[in-house]
Structure 1
């Protein structure tokens, strides 16, 4: 569906204040077919499912089940529709309505669980284990598709990138990007690898806590307490891989509050013309905190991945701003 190849645009305003003397770019993943980076993983995952379930015939032998906070479900539903595969998406009870409408538009069956993403994930997994349904989600095939974000960034800059900032939900995107970068070096395609900046919502900062404590143990947060629904993963499937990537790259991890995320989203919209969903602003919020902490050098070239379009949650924008405004009161 022509996923990938998304715009990489240079900052016109924030670069001057956030990293003066350096270069700041945005990788606009909201330009993918369903509005988020998830399409990169879905094209690989659902293509593999098609080969396995349908054998290139007109009818498929099974259906796909998937757990999602919203964006993955919309993406899987779209790619299943194109492949002619039935799918059921298990979602948390508070999944944004517009994301549910995306899934419905593509013919997906939606099941709301009485809990958060972890319960949705376990429910989908149960359908696979007990009833033999094909399980899709943040698993190896998806990472193979999502690593293309990093490969494109390296290609655009002839491998000369200092930092790539990435949000952490399940950790699959960050892990996939680092895996792809290491493969480039193994194949002799690059000598230099960028450092990874990982940003996670403060209300479920499982990976960041482990990073800061210097431990490999990732302690679940149930339920996640954040308005950043796209990354509200209290038990991140690829959390340990993401943690390892941060350390191997010599990078940095930081927790971002909902209020800080909203302020950065507002700055991006009003000063750069880039409208991101709340979790889509996580990377840029991480960049700002890294610069303030002196982690990023003054002359560095930095890319912030904007993972999802602001139109993914337009109806919740005003509500989020109201809640965040109340949070900021003394």
Structure 2
């Protein structure tokens, strides 16, 4: 008689991985239907189905799925947002990230659908014009709410402890997008002024956030391409959050450009990704960037790559630390110019 194999596999990780597709789609459906907006107070599945004009039984199944994900609470047939969903998934919250998640899904969906083909045949012809500034305006706007989820204030608190910060007079936010990081950094300082440098269409959008936080007297904008255009001079602080990736192939020249734009004793801080374990960790970041890599765009940094470029450019001291964020682990590299 043939015996069953003597195997005791207790953790079927492959099952959990394949189940991730369902988990993601349950969340995306909840966002697309604005379910979380209706569940700021407890409601039953029939009440939600009536508001959505949706199929009652399938609405209940969707709500149960969101509850299984920990995004809703269910008690006696009544559903209500979890604390996390209330903050980040109700559309009128200043920390609403639903649009960001939908945009991320739209970017990655084609590659996910045909990943086998991409692995076998290589990247497809470029489908999206990444030079279209409207794409970056949308991206920066959706990222602003994620940054307002506490990360901008937390990072600003760390930067405020950098030696000499209290005496800084002028900062540059390189590729600053919405300007949320600049706003948070200036809020930590009584008088420092700042400049947001980004594409013209993006900084036009950034001015909306500057006005919202009443920073018009301290924060201005400058439009252009930071890779080719002048940055200005005499900055005490230059801040770059997840933007040096776009000049990774020209990093030595960019570092020299940043160094020249700083005052003697000035500080350059990069906040960026850093792959480890032969570019297999952190797993969330590797998998996110896998999509872009399969399409022929690999701008991911190795941990320590930016710090080494800082040293080679002539910065006198470089201090690095790793910071956990709600999305992924990031590296903060702090470099100082010679006095």
Coarse TM-score class (shorter-chain normalised): 0.3 to 0.5
TM-score by length of 2: 0.32
Greater RCO (Cα-Cα under 8 Å, separation 6 or more)? 1
TM-score by length of 1: 0.32
Larger of the two Rg values belongs to structure: 2
